[in-house]
């Protein structure tokens, strides 16, 4: 890779251009493809704002360091170098556009892969999408800066201040303009205001908490100052595909304008709006209820501006009297019985931060935010009422001051205000304020109840979306009118294609050697696993008190038979008799079985552990997985009591599939892969990665995020994966341990990281070095595309270069998104041939036009059959493509891979490597120490046996315990 470096000057640039020469194609063809816009765009970074390389004076092109002795040698092949990074003399690859903090400092000139054309494969059809055409306004959009003094943190209060300002001054100082406001620092108008700068004084009555007495009136100083005019011409060119860079400012203004009226009407949360009036709230239990709402977002698409509308549901705290809420929370009568310490803790956790209003003062409804709960009952509470420290009880005070008799004096009081000046409020004098979203973790019953509310058949969801757009009446919206925005009330009609299902290959010894799935499904009848593994030494632990030995033995026998029928060699007898244990003694039981089995088999390790668990097992499952996979090196398969009692062939078949891949086997492969007919996979050794980061739940402020990377270990079949996991800084989306270096006293600078380890693992497993990389990255939001691509693509290249000089296989980097709000509906719900059993669109339905990005390489793919509710298509966005995939190529590959998911005989909704990475990251959260799981811990490290490092600017993250070597090599997370 040639890198041009010029003398330092004010106009210095670092230009990095990938030159791709596929060994299967002549170099001239590649160059021509690049000229035609099919090749990867040049990556041009202005280095003026970037840190200078520490090794600018050193010669380039010296390659990576020699591999460590423990590594598999990556011997040079015929592939020429495609490196885009300079290499320093000691072999460490330098990257001039990554800052010392590990984050890209500039991404302005990076352009994502352009759409190479549209797909043609598949049966054409029409689907409807929940996108509504928005006509581009022809008015000037102006932005003004808003400064409110004293500063206010609440967007609600800010909006009240600006609403009062507009009410008072719209017809005079604002020149009849109706501005849209973002609730923070920006105000937008259609056309200019009569001034460039002006100060206003606004008086507002404080409705919020305070000491008892008359409401306070606050005065605010509001300064409005002109900032800029949004370029609508730029937006028009972008939508027409004539410009690649999206004018985010103009899109943001239009989005805020269309949200303004809904923000006043409903309860806004994120990009969604909720109201108890849209649909009657449903109780979820323990004082919670579900509110129905809608999601709304303006999006640039090929059809122009589009308003994306979808239905939404969320859990809210029920606006009950506090005493009634506490009764529901605890599930018992609290009006006559005293509370235990455990009850008090539960109430305190549930009510902290919740806003309540008092009910003991007639029409005066002051609002307060709960800060705590008294440790004493109300009848014992006293406080000073004057400077002489005259004490008065809370019961006496409320009787004398308000004529309010407190009945439930055995209950504690709510504390409101801060610790220095806390006020006591009796529970029975308070009611929870309506419209407060519940942000803590829901229990299983609440989740089930919420899913029942949100689970809608496609036809019902479509009708609700149409009702929402009609109810919102954008043609009557004063803000939409002011800014000249017109919204269609018809769902977008979109051309789609249904991709054919791939043929699957099973073992030759089965009656059915090949299988063609029907509507995304098939079964294991008459089929044998393509690579069935052998299980000679296994044991079973029964943690369920309700499962007798005879029942457990019957279950194990049935499972062993199913494994044999499916193609495995499975010893029908366990090494030792089934061992019964208490859930609270999980570690002791596991180690006992492990050691007793080892002594019985004369030192040969146990290959598989079956575990029967109670249906409600708390932390047992996580503890078992942590001990087995990080301490004992045991592959385990857990089975719930309900399945042990009610044995079905379908369940046993699914468990046998999971056991086989955990043991290192393969259940099925694509027939095209065996026949080497997959474009840009079968021609040269290709490795497919999947990566994901899972973050702690809301309310966990310090526990680490978990990153996982999996990679295919068989070629050309790409069915078997190995996985690695690591902990990293709290809510850090960039995967820190993809590539890293550290200093070893003996070996000097040592390279490692998840990408490097998996490349080496691929070489060991296949005897080939990967000459092509396909990287599916899950869980990245659009706002993080630039950062993630720059950082992680750089890490991939560094990992490759560290293995061998000039080793830079071409990379295709694809983001997989499930958390979006595009839904696709059948054009005719009555046409059974165009829907599956659930009424959803057919598996294989792909859309790459109209509702997709104006210029970039993205598509929506519904690769699975719906079970219940409305199917959500996965959104794939090809950010970087050095392999020059066609639209058909990447769409067909992605759809076909969805039929290779190892845990069931169905096609899945997300490409398997991304799915596996998600499972692995989720599994790794169990590896954190119990106190770390509960209280959280910041820090950094890894869980795959290499040295922990600290990313610059991060807290010290406690590393996950290492996975045992035999666990790393298999799909342990399945």
Q: How many helices (H) and strands (E) does the chain have?
A: 22, 46
* 846 vs 30, higher pLDDT: 846
Give the mean pLDDT of the chain: 86
> 205-214, 764-773, 859-868: lowest mean pLDDT where?
205-214
Q: Are 323 and 335 in contact (CB under 8 A)?
A: yes
pLDDT mean over 700-727: 93
Distant-in-sequence, close-in-space partners of 843: CB < 8 Å, separation ≥ 6: 501, 519, 520, 836, 862, 863, 864, 865, 907
Strand partners, 125: 496
Q: Are 691 and 734 in contact (CB under 8 A)?
A: no
* 228 vs 16, higher pLDDT: 228
Q: What number of residues does the chain have?
A: 974
Q: Are 503 and 673 in contact (CB under 8 A)?
A: no
Q: Are 712 and 720 in contact (CB under 8 A)?
A: yes
Per-residue buried b or exposed e for 926-947, using 16+ beta carbons within 10 Å of the residue's own CB? bbbeeebbeebbbbbbbbbebe
Cα–Cα distance between 861 and 871 in angstroms, integer?
Answer: 11
pLDDT over 70 for what percent of the chain?
A: 84
pLDDT of residue 137: 85
Q: Are 913 and 815 in contact (CB under 8 A)?
A: no
Q: Are 852 and 301 in contact (CB under 8 A)?
A: yes
DSSP 832: G
pLDDT confidence tier of residue 944, bands split at 50, 70 and 90 = very low
Half-sphere exposure of 880 (CA within 13 A, CB side): 24
Distant-in-sequence, close-in-space partners of 63: CB < 8 Å, separation ≥ 6: 87, 91, 801, 804, 805, 806
Cα–Cα distance between 404 and 400 in angstroms, integer?
Answer: 8
- Residue 855 backbone phi and psi in degrees, to 5: -130, -25
The correct CATH number of 322-433 out of 2.170.260.10, 3.40.50.720, 3.20.20.220, 3.30.465.10 is 2.170.260.10
Cα–Cα distance between 729 and 707 in angstroms, integer?
Answer: 10
Cα–Cα distance between 37 and 155 in angstroms, integer?
Answer: 46
Q: Are 439 and 698 in contact (CB under 8 A)?
A: yes
Please report, for the chain, the start and end positions of each structural domain, with discontinuous segments joined by +: 134-265, 322-433, 532-665
Strand partners, 186: 145
Cα–Cα distance between 395 and 9 in angstroms, integer?
Answer: 78
Q: How many CB atoms lie within 10 A of CB 697?
A: 11
876 sits in the region (left: phi over 0; alpha: psi -120 to 50; else beta) called beta
pLDDT mean over 359-379: 89
- DSSP letters of 178-218? --EE-SSSEEEEES--S-SEEEEEEEEE--S--SSSSPPEE
Q: Which CATH homologous superfamily contains domain 532-665?
A: Response regulator (3.40.50.2300)
Cα–Cα distance between 13 and 525 in angstroms, integer?
Answer: 63
Element (H, E) at 256: helix 248-265
Cα–Cα distance between 337 and 318 in angstroms, integer?
Answer: 23
Per-residue pLDDT reduced to its tens digit, 731-778: 999 999 999 999 999 999 999 999 999 999 999 999 999 999 999 999
Short-list 225, 222, 260, CA closest to 144: 225
Short-list 462, 465, 463, 484, CA closest to 474: 484
- DSSP letters of 583-623? GGGHHHHHHHHHHHHHHHTTTPPP-EEEEEE-SS-TTHHHH
Q: Are 529 and 567 in contact (CB under 8 A)?
A: yes
> 248-262, 599-613, 710-724, 927-941: lowest mean pLDDT where?
927-941
Per-residue pLDDT reduced to its tens digit, 313-356: 999 999 999 999 999 999 998 988 889 999 999 999 999 999 99
Radius of gyration for the alpha carbons in the chain, expressed in angstroms and rounded: 31
pLDDT of residue 139: 84
- Give the CA diameter of the chain: 95
Chain-centroid distance of CA 532 in Å reads 34
> Given a cut of 70, is residue 618 above it in pLDDT?
yes
pLDDT of residue 246: 87
Q: Taking the C-alpha atoms of 474, 475, 478 and 480 in order, what is their torsion angle to the nearest 10 degrees?
A: 60
Per-residue pLDDT reduced to its tens digit, 400-440: 989 999 999 999 999 987 655 668 899 999 999 999 999 88
Cα–Cα distance between 273 and 297 in angstroms, integer?
Answer: 11
> Given a cut of 70, is residue 496 above it in pLDDT?
yes
Per-residue pLDDT reduced to its tens digit, 800-853: 999 998 999 999 999 999 999 999 999 998 888 899 999 999 999 999 999 999
pLDDT over 90 for what percent of the chain?
A: 74
Per-residue pLDDT reduced to its tens digit, 516-562: 999 999 999 999 999 999 999 999 999 999 999 999 999 999 999 99
Per-residue pLDDT reduced to its tens digit, 64-111: 333 343 333 343 333 333 333 333 333 333 343 333 334 343 444 578
């Amino acid at each position: 890779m040639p890198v041009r470096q010029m003398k330092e000057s004010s106009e210095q640039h670092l230009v990095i251009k990938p030159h791709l020469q596929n060994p299967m194609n002549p170099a001239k063809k590649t160059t021509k493809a690049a000229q035609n816009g099919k090749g990867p765009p040049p990556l041009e970074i202005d280095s003026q704002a970037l840190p200078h390389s520490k090794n600018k004076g050193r010669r380039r092109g010296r390659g990576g360091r020699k591999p460590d002795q423990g590594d598999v040698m990556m011997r040079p092949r015929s592939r020429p170098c495609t490196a885009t990074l300079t290499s320093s003399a000691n072999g460490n690859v330098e990257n001039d556009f990554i800052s010392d903090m590990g984050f890209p400092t500039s991404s302005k000139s990076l352009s994502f892969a352009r759409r190479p054309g549209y797909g043609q494969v598949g049966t054409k059809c029409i689907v409807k999408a929940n996108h509504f055409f928005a006509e581009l306004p022809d008015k000037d959009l102006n932005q003004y800066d808003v400064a409110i003094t004293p500063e206010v943190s609440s967007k609600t209060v800010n909006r009240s201040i600006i609403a009062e300002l507009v009410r008072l001054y719209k017809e005079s100082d604002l020149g009849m303009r109706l501005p849209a406001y973002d609730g923070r620092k920006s105000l937008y108008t259609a056309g200019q205001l009569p001034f460039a700068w002006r100060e206003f004084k606004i008086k507002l009555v404080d409705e919020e908490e305070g000491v008892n007495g008359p409401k306070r009136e606050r005065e605010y100083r509001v300064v409005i100052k002109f900032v800029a005019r949004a370029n609508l011409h730029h937006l028009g060119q972008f939508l027409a595909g004539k410009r690649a860079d999206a004018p985010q400012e103009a899109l943001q203004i239009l989005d805020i304008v269309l949200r303004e009226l809904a923000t006043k009407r409903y309860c806004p949360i994120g990009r969604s709006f909720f109201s108890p009036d849209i649909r009657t709230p449903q109780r979820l239990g323990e004082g919670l209820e579900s509110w129905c709402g809608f999601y709304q977002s303006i999006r640039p698409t090929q059809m122009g501006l589009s308003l994306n509308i979808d239905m939404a549901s969320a859990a809210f705290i029920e606006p009950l009297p506090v005493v009634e809420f506490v009764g529901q929370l605890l599930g018992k009568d609290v009006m006559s019985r005293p509370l235990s310490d455990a009850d008090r803790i539960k109430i305190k956790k549930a009510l902290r931060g919740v806003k309540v209003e008092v009910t003991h003062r007639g029409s005066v409804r002051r609002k307060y935010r709960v800060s705590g709960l008294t440790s004493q009952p109300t009848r014992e509470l006293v406080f000073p009422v004057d400077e002489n420290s005259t004490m008065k009880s809370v019961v006496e005070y409320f009787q004398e001051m308000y004529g309010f008799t407190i009945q439930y004096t055995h209950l504690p009081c709510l504390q409101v205000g801060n610790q220095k000046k806390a006020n006591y409020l009796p529970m029975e004098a308070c009611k929870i304020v309506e419209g407060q979203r519940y942000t803590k973790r829901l229990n299983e019953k609440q989740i089930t109840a919420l899913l029942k509310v949100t689970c809608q058949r496609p036809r019902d969801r479509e009708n609700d979306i149409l009702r929402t757009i009609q109810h919102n009446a954008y043609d009557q919206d004063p803000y939409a009118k002011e800014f000249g925005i017109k919204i269609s009330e018809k769902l977008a009609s979109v051309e789609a294609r249904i991709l054919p299902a791939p043929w699957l290959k099973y073992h030759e010894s089965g009656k059915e050697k090949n299988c063609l799935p029907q509507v995304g499904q098939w079964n294991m009848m008459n089929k044998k696993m393509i690579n069935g593994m052998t299980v000679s030494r296994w044991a079973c632990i029964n943690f369920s008190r309700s499962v007798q030995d005879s029942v457990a033995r019957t279950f194990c026998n049935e499972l062993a038979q199913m494994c044999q029928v499916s193609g495995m060699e499975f010893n029908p007898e366990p090494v030792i008799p089934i061992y019964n244990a208490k859930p609270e003694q999980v570690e002791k039981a596991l180690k006992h079985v492990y050691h007793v089995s080892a002594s019985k088999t004369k030192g040969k390790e146990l290959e598989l552990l079956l575990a029967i668990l109670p249906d409600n097992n708390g932390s047992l499952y996580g503890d078992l997985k942590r001990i087995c996979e990080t301490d004992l090196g045991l592959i385990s398969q857990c089975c719930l009591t309900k399945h042990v009692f009610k044995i079905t062939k379908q369940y046993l078949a699914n468990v046998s599939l999971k056991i086989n891949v955990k043991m290192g086997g393969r259940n099925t492969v694509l027939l095209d892969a065996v026949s080497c007919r997959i474009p840009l996979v079968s021609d040269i050794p290709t490795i497919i990665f999947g990566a994901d980061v899972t973050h702690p739940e809301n309310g966990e402020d310090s526990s680490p995020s978990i990153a996982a990377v999996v990679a295919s270990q068989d070629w050309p079949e790409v069915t078997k994966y190995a996985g690695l996991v690591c902990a990293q800084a709290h809510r850090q989306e960039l995967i820190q341990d993809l590539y890293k270096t550290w200093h070893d006293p003996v070996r000097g600078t040592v390279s490692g990281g998840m990408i490097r380890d998996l490349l080496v693992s691929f070489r060991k497993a296949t005897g080939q070095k990967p000459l092509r990389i396909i990287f599916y990255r899950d869980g990245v939001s659009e706002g993080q595309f630039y950062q993630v691509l720059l950082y992680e693509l750089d890490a991939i290249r560094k990992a490759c270069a560290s293995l061998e000089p000039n080793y830079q296989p071409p990379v295709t980097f694809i983001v997989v998104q499930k958390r979006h709000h595009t839904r696709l509906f059948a054009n005719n719900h009555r046409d059974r041939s165009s829907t599956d059993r659930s009424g959803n669109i057919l598996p294989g339905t792909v859309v790459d036009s109209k509702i997709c990005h104006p210029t970039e390489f993205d598509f929506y793919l519904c690769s699975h059959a719906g079970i219940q509710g409305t199917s959500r298509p996965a959104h794939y966005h090809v950010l970087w493509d050095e392999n020059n995939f066609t639209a058909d190529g990447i769409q067909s590959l992605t759809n076909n891979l969805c039929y290779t998911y190892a845990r069931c005989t169905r096609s899945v909704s997300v490409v398997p490597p991304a799915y596996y990475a998600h499972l692995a990251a989720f599994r790794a959260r169990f590896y954190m120490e119990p106190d770390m799981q509960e209280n959280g811990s910041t820090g950094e490290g890894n869980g795959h046996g290499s040295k922990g490092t600290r990313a610059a600017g991060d807290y010290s993250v406690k590393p996950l315990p290492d996975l045992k070597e035999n666990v790393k090599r298999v799909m342990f997370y399945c």
